[in-house]
Structure 1
Amino acid sequence: MNLPIRPRRNRRTAAIRSMVRETVLSPADFILPVFFHEDPIDIPIASMPGCTRWSVDGLVKEAGESLAAGVPAVVLFPKIGDDLKSSAADECHSDDGLVPRAIRALKAAHPTLC
């Protein structure tokens, strides 16, 4: 390697070397997007091949598999029924709502999941 300037300043300590090194991705750097709904069955999403809209039980199972593979977090995308939607988003504040129930189920089964 024939460089006009020797980049020693960026290699002096391990901390500096780790800051300027090449980007390295691992499963711990990812977040799994999960789509879920109220129904007790898992349904493939037609507009997104390979993606499934999970039941709450299926969501817990899928999150457990991703956690075992090293993915430490999920982002939740709920499908709320049209009859439960309101301009004030009342369903998301209900303790018995879909999202709070899903979060409780996930935390009960996988306490380390983010």
Structure 2
Amino acid sequence: MTTTLFGLVPSPNEDEFVFRLDDEARIRQAREILSGNETSRVHVQGRVVPETADHNPEWNFHLDPGSITFFDEADEDCDATGHYVATQLDRVGEEGFLPENIWAPSRSRITRELGG
């Protein structure tokens, strides 16, 4: 199985958040976004896992690689800055805040491919 890491900025002026992709089709999609060939579904969303991951040690949560997709517009209940999610982890999944633990920062931007 191929594993590739990508960096994203959840919103302007935030620290980079690293996510892992294990699916070849999603890896291709991320690369298309980075190259500028994909211009509509360019934001990252996925299911929040409330624990630090080896590939993302600066954050107290990561995204489940199997849940990650790309989107154009998000439900506002799933939109939050990365720092807000990090400080409100105990509320993730509660009514009105990241339903089903899905985080979809509407201003997210993939910044780079880090490799595997």
TM range (shorter): under 0.3
The structure, 1 or 2, with the larger RCO (C-alpha pairs under 8 Å, 6+ apart) is: 2
Which is helix-richer, 1 or 2? 1
User: Which structure shows the bigger proportion of residues in strand conformation?
Assistant: 2
For the pair shown, the structure with the greater C-alpha radius of gyration is: 1
